[in-house]
Amino acid sequence: MKIFHLQLKTGAKGKAVGHSDYIRREGRYRSREDLVDVGCGNLPSWAEGNARAFWAAADAHERMNGAAYREFIIALPNELVGSRSRDLVHDLICYLAGTKSYQFAVHAPEASLEGGINLHLHLMISDRMPDGIDRPASQMFRRYNPDRPEAGGRRKDACGRTNVQVSESVIESRCMVAKIINEHLERNGIAERVDHRTLKEQGIERQAERHLGAFRIQGMSGDERLAYVTARQAMRGRGEL
């Protein structure tokens, strides 16, 4: 079974442009040579197709302590390359972003422990829902006015939802993302599948593997890396990973 990884992050006001530069490998991130694909969509007319201009407006005009963006980070099967990877990314974006403004990037850094590549998608999405009203940038990120929508900003997707409803939405997203990935694996003749369920829900009695990150891996000794890789390979052999 292939590893399923989906992470959802929230980006605060003032952080959107910097993160946009990070996923696009622009500015101080330009030296990183792992960018595979990049794009954006559903931007308002005033952004003129420039995602960075859109995020700059979100940073400037989003209300204090508001979220400027949500980000999905999703592991992609390494076997799906080229057009096959682009088709999968397209379907994931259609499901997760829908009609909302978004920017995406696909990275393929070298895997730190076992070699190969770590193909994954970064998808930044604005919570602001389009409603057919043409607002300038200074108005779009204001608080929504239910009585006079044309006088306020765009409504946020999570507006009015309880914590339980938001949690249920994340679970549903994990399920659908796994389904989309598995459909593409099957379509391309790959037998392995991903499973969005927790290990306990799958009947596997062990703790979830901790994501180490490149910085922590760099601090590991050779023996520590070997022990970690050996344990991971043993779990794969038992069908637990």
| Marked catalytic residue, from 22, 95, 144, 228 | 22
Please check whether residue 34 is in contact with residue 90, taking contact to mean a CB–CB distance below 8 angstroms. no
Calculate helix-pair angle for 163-187, 83-96, nearest 10 degrees.
160
Q: How many other C-beta atoms lie within 10 A of the C-beta of residue 117?
A: 15
Please check whether residue 8 is in contact with residue 70, taking contact to mean a CB–CB distance below 8 angstroms. yes
In the annotation, is 144 catalytic? Answer: no
| Amino acid code (one letter) for 197 | R
- Residue ranges of alpha helices (H) inside the chain are 16-24, 51-61, 83-96, 137-140, 163-187, 213-218, 222-237
- Residues annotated as part of the active site: 22
